[in-house]
Structure formats: structure tokens, C-alpha cells
């Protein structure tokens, strides 16, 4: 079971819808997460909130497309053999996503899907700091996006 709390910190827009978020997150769930109850937040924000969070948590004083905040299970619960189904939070800047889609000549829906897939993989521990990890994550993203009917999100624009 998948529960997504879609939060709009800006005026709600046409995209992403609750159904789209659920579809894209479900496609990105890997291993045990794909078969368990999963809860998470997808928060859509403006540039100012994205910039403040990016600065506070990553030391980068600019807005960014997606920030992932994985949930850390309290040690006491794990010791008791219990685990909360909460995966974490995604914070996505609508303006940055729209600007990137335009700059990269990609359909907006495809770029939204990619940002949610990308962020959901981060919540599950995937990363792209080391080259080997980056290749693994990018290939997984390509496979997921293809399964969702989208083009390779890392294909270079030939225009």
C-alpha cells in the first residue's frame, strides 16, 4: 500500500496530480519497499523555500529541482523489531522543474516524473556521488522511465 501526502506550498498547478505521484513513486520503489506499506510526503515549493532548504541542508545558496529527506527509523523501534512505514520527504521546486524542462527541451510531465523517480530512489538509499553509484542509479532511472513510457531522461538534446 502506498500513501503519498501531496502538499502544495504554492498555488496548486495542473501537474503533478496525486495519481501521477502515486504511479511514479510506485514505479521507483525497489526491493522490499515495492511490497510493503510505504508512506511519504511530496511537497511542491517555490524557489525561496527550495533555496532556503538547499542552503540549510546542502550549503548551496540556490534553488534546486528536488531535495530528498530520508526518514531515519528511531533506534528504539528497530531494537523492538518494529519499523515505521515512512520512507521520507521529497521537496520539489516547481519553477526549477519547469525551467529545466524548457531548457532541456523535455515534456514537462516527463521531467516531473523523472524528478519524483529520482527523489524516490534517493529516499531508498541510492546516490550519485561516486561514479559507480551514479551509473547504477542513472541506469535504474532509465529503466523506470522507459517502463513508464518516457524517453531516457539523460539523453542529450540534439538541437
- The phi-psi region of residue 56 (left if phi > 0; otherwise alpha if psi is between -120 and 50; otherwise beta) is alpha
Pairs from 18-25 (Cβ < 8 Å, separation ≥ 24): 20/109, 20/112, 20/113, 21/116, 23/148, 24/112, 24/113, 24/116, 24/117, 24/120, 24/148, 25/116, 25/117, 25/120
Q: Is 31 annotated as a binding residue?
A: no
Q: Is 118 annotated as a binding residue?
A: yes
Provide the annotated binding site: 118, 122, 128
Annotated binding-site positions for Zn(2+): 118, 122, 128
Amino acid at each position: 500500500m502506498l500513501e503519498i501526502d501531496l502538499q502544495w506550498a504554492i498555488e496548486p498547478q495542473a501537474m503533478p496530480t496525486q495519481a501521477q505521484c502515486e504511479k511514479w513513486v510506485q514505479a521507483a520503489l525497489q526491493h522490499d519497499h515495492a511490497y510493503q506499506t510505504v508512506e511519504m510526503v511530496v511537497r511542491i515549493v517555490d524557489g525561496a523555500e527550495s533555496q532556503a532548504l538547499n542552503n540549510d541542508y546542502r550549503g548551496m545558496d540556490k534553488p534546486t529541482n528536488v531535495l530528498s529527506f530520508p526518514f531515519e527509523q528511531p533506534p528504539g523501534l528497530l531494537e523492538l523489531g518494529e519499523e515505521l512505514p515512512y520512507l521520507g520527504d521529497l521537496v520539489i521546486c516547481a519553477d526549477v522543474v519547469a525551467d529545466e524542462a524548457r531548457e532541456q527541451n523535455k515534456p514537462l510531465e516527463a521531467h516531473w516524473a523523472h524528478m519524483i523517480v529520482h527523489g524516490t530512489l534517493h529516499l531508498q538509499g541510492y546516490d550519485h556521488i561516486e561514479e559507480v553509484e551514479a551509473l547504477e542509479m542513472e541506469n535504474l532511472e532509465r529503466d523506470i522511465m522507459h517502463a513508464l513510457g518516457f524517453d531516457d531522461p539523460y539523453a542529450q538534446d540534439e538541437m
